[in-house]
Structure 1
């Protein structure tokens, strides 16, 4: 990750302080400014900065109130916060760290200290993100794994209810994959899993569309802001895309090539559901697709 790919939100009600920090840090990261607490919260949600330099004392909201809002929002909770203050007060420091702050910078600014501390935290953020990425990817297929799925599905269900949208969640299972492995070998099975995962990933075009390997030959797809008609079209295209790869499967009772079955559920904003309830319903619909002959989609609105 290049330095300028990282983003710093500087929050200070004094224009001169904002300018000093910009001059010191503009070559290290992309800089965004906020001049008060309310603006800081809104810009943090919009830009999702890696690091925030946050003034403690501001006229509308204190830095402590801002960090509470930042850390309680799923979108911004991972943002690292360095407090800016003109007073060295141990009680304030203790409170800031308890609220999730990672460091303090004191006014008047000393250039070398500001640069050293900010660069240290940007490097820690880079390393943390790299570790998160490794922890959330399936090494065989290169797509996200179940650990990442658990996080995303929770966030998307919450966002769906908040934004009053519809959300599609699907379970996908490769048909007769045990017979494929048993007859072609596990090496061929691994290659087939990679091809299926890549094909499904290529079929998803929007930034928030999400795919993960659930385990074995099972995958999960999440389509935010998707109604019954739109999701049906995407999943039918996905069935066709996998068939069109013509991965030979001479031991399938469905077709001469590898196919998948899909069970999908549509959730609207009126539902208050858990991850487990949604996955259970999608799994039931997947079982129905298999029972009905496989190589097909069963999709329903969640009741």
Structure 2
């Protein structure tokens, strides 16, 4: 990692401008650099950018480094960031306390550039390995989409984030039409192939940052669309119906269309008091309506305070 890796990022939270400049100069060859001069700003940047490593000053006015670390560790969006404490104090117990708070390493001031570089580089490598393992655990082995565990966790995170921001979140449930009949007629291998093709078509349609597709059941998928309003959902609904239809996968057991098609239920709303269950129930009802309307189409639902 001698050259900067644009895919990796380091957040420096430090109140001293000279130390920020020095650390930025030292660490710039490793990754892109962000910085904040206080704990509150650092927490906001960490949640927004989710850096790989956070270099955190333990002693800061206002919100201390220790309190900042506690907040970062309590937030699911920043819990996986590797925190390296930097402090001018080296009192007995400081290092143990840092690790108790969730830090991954500890550097004392005045620090050696060689030591800081080595320790942060090591944390970047460990974070990359951890991310790779976590991603493998979150991927559905058949389709390559995310799995249900990831979808439930990430959907909950997105709902909380959109609640704070007051923005509209979109959720889509997708079901492959007459899939049992397809499996019975063509065999499970062909069924698996068709699920993979549909999953790839859905993933190709989820284009914007933060959008993701997960396999939620046997032939059911969920799509989460951050910052999406009802107009966005209409456009997405038509897109996925047409994209799957364009695959032109023969389905002799589909009485309506003779090829593999999908039905979709969509909902978009500012979460407010709504939770995961509310979004999924609304999109499931819309999916049922799409099935009743003849399949190979989508329907939208609304979430309203009753």
- SS of 2:154's partner is helix
Instruction: Tell me the equivalent position of 1:287.
Output: 288
Instruction: Tell me the equivalent position of 1:191.
Output: 193
How far 1:3 sits from its partner (Å)?
A: 5.8
Instruction: Tell me the equivalent position of 2:247.
Output: 245
1:151 to 150, 153, 156: 153
Distance 2:282 2:301 in 1: 9
Instruction: Tell me the equivalent position of 1:228.
Output: 230
1:179 to 160, 178, 181: 181
How far 1:180 sits from its partner (Å)?
A: 1.0
Superposition pairs for residues 107-126 of structure 1, below 5 Å? 107-126=109-128
Q: Tell me: CA distance 1:14–1:233, structure 2 relative to 1, closer, same or farther (3 Å).
A: closer
Distance 2:33 2:224 in 1: 33
CA contact (8 A) 2:171 2:225 kept: yes
2:84 to 77, 82, 85: 82
What is the RMSD of the two structures over their aligned residues, measured on CA atoms? 2.2
Distance 1:22 1:113 in 2: 14
CA contact (8 A) 2:57 2:87 kept: yes
Instruction: Tell me the equivalent position of 2:166.
Output: 164
Q: What residue ranges of structure 2 are gaps of 5+ in the alignment?
A: none
- SS of 1:215's partner is coil
Instruction: Tell me the equivalent position of 1:61.
Output: 63
CA contact (8 A) 1:289 1:298 kept: yes
How far 1:250 sits from its partner (Å)?
A: 0.7
TM-score where L is the length of structure 1: 0.90
**CA deviation map 1:155-210 (0-9, x unaligned):** 12112222222222121111111111111122221221121111122222221222
Count of residues in Structure 1 that have an aligned counterpart in Structure 2: 302
TM-score where L is the length of structure 2: 0.89
Q: Tell me: CA distance 1:30–1:223, structure 2 relative to 1, closer, same or farther (3 Å).
A: closer
- SS of 2:216's partner is strand
CA contact (8 A) 2:4 2:28 kept: no
